[in-house]
Structures are given as C-alpha cells and as structure tokens.
Structure 1
C-alpha cells in the first residue's frame, strides 16, 4: 500500500521512525505528493502495527494536542502547552489515575490497533492526513476528554504555585516568634516548643497574626499553616504517620529547608528520652 503526504517533513519523519524500528521501505515524490510505499506481510504486519501505534502516540497525539491548545483554547505560551500535554501523557501512561478516574478510561491501544489494521489491509493509496482526520476521529474525540481534565488540573496547579509563593513571601518578611517548633500532625494537631513542652491552644492562638486570616489574599488553614506562618520558626520538626498526605506536601513546599519530617513514633521516643534526662 501507499501513504501519501502533503509535507515532505512529515513523510521523512515517518520513514525515519519506521526505519528506527527496522522497517525499510521506498519513498518517492509524485506530482507534488510525497509517497511512502510498503508491503506489510503476515510475518511483519505486527511490527508495522506496533511502530505506527507508537508514532501516533508519541508524535501525532502531541501535535494534535498542541494545535487544539493554540487554536481552540488560545494558549500562546509554548511552555504552558508543553506542561498541559505532559499531564495528558501522564494520564495515558497511568501516572494520573486520580484524573483518569474523572472520565472514561481511553482504550488507546485497542482504538489505534483496529484503525491501523484497516489501514494496512487497504490495497490502494491513502492520504495520511485523511486517515488521521476521519479514521481516528473517535480516538481524537476521546483524547479531547483527557485534554479538558488536564487543562483544569494545570490551572489548579498554577493556582497552587501562586498560593505557595505568596506564603513564602509572607514567611520571608515575618519575624521569628518561636525559634523551634515540634508539631504532631494527627487529630488534634499538637504544637510543642523547643523543650518539647506542649503549647496550649490559647498560646498558639495568641501567636497568630490576625492579618493572616482576615486580610491575606489567599485562604490559609487556621489549624496548622496559619500558626506556623505566624510563629515563623527557624526549624520545624514535623511528625506524622502519613507522609504522603497533601498537607505535608504543602508544608514542605512553603517552609522548605526549615522543615524536617519524622514519624509520629519518633516523637514519643524523643519525648521519653528528654523526660528521663530532665
């Protein structure tokens, strides 16, 4: 069969991609069309199918997403488009299951495998652009569902980064009110001073910067983040059973090198040792 291309760049790119997969076929120009001719057989058809699936997944899918982001969603920044496409790729790779759970999972391999088998079984010439536009219409329609979720996720991640930077700026300008703080991140959250003395709720509240809760441009958690920002410690020893919880990630991002993470059990061992030597 023959695949026809309007662009020599596209034709050469596909030929190179297939050649890298051990598939060498003829390439020629006829009347302004660039034609890639190949004869898949029973012995190598699976190799063609696999290579063409990879080509669509790694090249054409990203190109299509980039065009949609520019034309439909008006993303002019290449960096922004790259970051959104990266999220889509992670969804396809199974790394963003919390996002793919929001929509039907795309059976990409099945959709592409079926379409490419039809293509290889065709005996005549096929315009590659037409194959993508019409035969893979349902595939790209489903990719759109991932793209919408990826855009929302990207916007939330951008908002989160602005939130983190705003709090870092506040922390940078805040005078230290408590040099060392130990915090057990369980329910209820419990603060301790540098001597491992428990800080009562009234004491913690008394250290709060009232402007942080009333006038700050972003919402700040009043139980943990606001007290720590108000105290602006030089060092925070954080104890938790669940290091992967979102609040821990946020605290690490805000306080960076000021924060040291330990297990909850380590605090009690430390407390007992401190008591024995007091």
Structure 2
C-alpha cells in the first residue's frame, strides 16, 4: 500500500482537519484514505494510506499526493502565514512594542491582499505556487516535515513575506508620522481663537478647491491674503495648501462639499476631519456645491480670494 507521512512540531490538529476535508472529496472519486497518527519526540506524524484493492495503482497514488499537497498548501497560506509574518517581525523589528508589532502584522496582511477585494486572488496565487512545489517534492518523497519544507524549500515564499513586512513597516511609520502631524495641527487649532464664523470648503477634482462664504462668494480675509502671498511661490501640494489656508482662517465651523470629488478615499476630507474634528460638517448636496458651480473650481491659490 502507498502511504505519505506528514510531520510537524505544531498545528497537527488543523493539518489533520484539512486532510480529512480533502480525503472526503477523494472518497467521492472512489478512493478511501486512512490516517494514522504517531509521535516521535516533539514531532507528531500523520500517516496517510490508501485503503482498497487498487491501492497500488499509479492513478490513486497520484491522487493521494495531489490531495495531500492541496491540504498542506492551504494550511501554510491560511493558517501558518500570519505566524510566519509575526516570526519575521519579531526577528527583524523586535524594537517595536507588542502592540506595534500587531499593527505591523495587520499592515502586512493588507499589503499581501493588495487592493481591497483582491484578497482571494492573491492568496490563491501564493497557494498555487506552494502547491506546485509540494507536488514536485512528493513526486520523489513519501515523508515530509512541514517546518523543514517551509524553511528550506519555500525560501522565495518567505522572502515574499519578508518584503511584505518591510513595506508594511514603511507604511506603519508614515501613518504614525501622519497621525502625530494631525494631532499637532488639531492642538494648534484648538488653542487659537477663531477668526471667522463659518467657511464652506468646495473640493473639486485633481486637488482643486474653493473657500466660500454662506452666499457662495469667495472668502476675503486680510490674514488669508497675507498667507497666499507667502505660499504662492512655494512648492506645496494642494492638500497642504488647503489645510494651511483653513488653519490661517481658523473658522469656528466649516462645511465640506465633496460633490466635485470622484468616489473613493478622499485624503483631503480625512485630513480636514482629523484636524477640525466636530467643527466639521459634510454637505450632501446644496446650491453652493451644485455640479455647475463646483465645476468652475480652479486649482490655483488665486481662487482663495478672487
């Protein structure tokens, strides 16, 4: 009878569960597999053996190896991957606190998933590569210790996780720096006296914006005019220019109109909300931010006061 032995120092129950799931599918094809379990030192071993008269056929042997490889590749990606990521973080970034390491692990998961709903596709791609590597190994071997296989036969996979961790650390540090910057701006806004009662912020496409009063007219302010003179020749992006202008005006309250913005994440809106907090209201549509008027916004500092 043909048999394959799988060894591991941890997670034997989840491996057995995945093997049971795969072998139930295999049984639908008329092939029954028995699983025996034993221990050698710190390692547990599962012996997967075909049961039946055709146990020696090349077809059933190939099926067994494929279903074992499928189960193990799934365990590595779906069960072990997060622990592998945490091990990499502990080894390379031990100077972060435990909570920070947890956040970096979350960021790494996002990095590996790519854009939002792509999680399934990215995970399937990694599983497919590991599955083929397992199949190649099991074509010539009847015993596999999973930790050794991951460490020595999946170096490219480990390197992919290491790269994802490095990118996640960069993202984590940038976001931490951003949060601290927003906290300081918010503190500055809270301690200064408001210079104007209310401002409407019209956010247009490609970073353009306008600051208007309740009648839709351009805001006129001596402080703002001095600010524009100082900023007009500097290399500042429009989001920085907008936040700086609002801090200069120091409005008691502000209404943000986003009808001119494309759908999706809006960093300008998130920054305004972070800095001005409950002073901020989002408009869901009015005469001031109608498409006709919002479309006239120009990405120029002159639009702040002309």
Q: 2:15: which partner in 1?
A: 14
Matched, 1:258 2:279: yes
Q: 1:55: which partner in 2?
A: 75
Q: 1:65: which partner in 2?
A: 85
TM-score by length of 2: 0.68
Matched, 1:238 2:262: no
> 1:26-45 alignment to 2 at 5 Å?
26-39=36-49, 41=60
RMSD: 3.7
- Figure out how many residues of one structure are paired with residues of the other and give that number: 255
The gaps in structure 2 that reach 5 residues or longer are: 25-33, 51-59, 118-123, 232-236, 294-306
- Asked whether the equivalents of residues 192 and 199 of structure 1 are also in contact (C-alpha less than 8 Å), the reply is yes
Q: 1:101: which partner in 2?
A: none
Superposed CA offset, 1:2-28 (max 9, x none): 1223x3x43234324544667683221
- Structure 1 counterpart of 2:104, from 84, 97, 100: 84
> 1:52-201 alignment to 2 at 5 Å?
52-95=72-115, 107-186=125-204, 189-200=209-220
167-176 or 234-243: bigger deviation: 234-243
Superposed CA offset, 1:249-278 (max 9, x none): 211222233223347884255999xxxxxx
Q: Secondary structure at the match of 2:251?
A: coil
- Asked whether the equivalents of residues 179 and 194 of structure 1 are also in contact (C-alpha less than 8 Å), the reply is no
- Asked whether the equivalents of residues 189 and 223 of structure 1 are also in contact (C-alpha less than 8 Å), the reply is no
Superposed CA offset, 1:64-118 (max 9, x none): 2211211222244222222222222223223279xxxxxxxx9523321211223
Task: Measure, in 1, the Cα distance between the counterparts of 2:256 and 2:223.
Answer: 19
Q: Secondary structure at the match of 2:201?
A: strand
Choose 1 or 2 for highest CA Rg. 2
Change (3 A) 1:50 1:87: farther
> 1:196-215 alignment to 2 at 5 Å?
196-200=216-220, 202=222, 204-205=224-225
Q: Secondary structure at the match of 2:11?
A: helix
The gaps in structure 1 that reach 5 residues or longer are: 98-105, 214-218, 273-278
- Asked whether the equivalents of residues 197 and 252 of structure 2 are also in contact (C-alpha less than 8 Å), the reply is yes
1:31 deviation in Å? 5.0
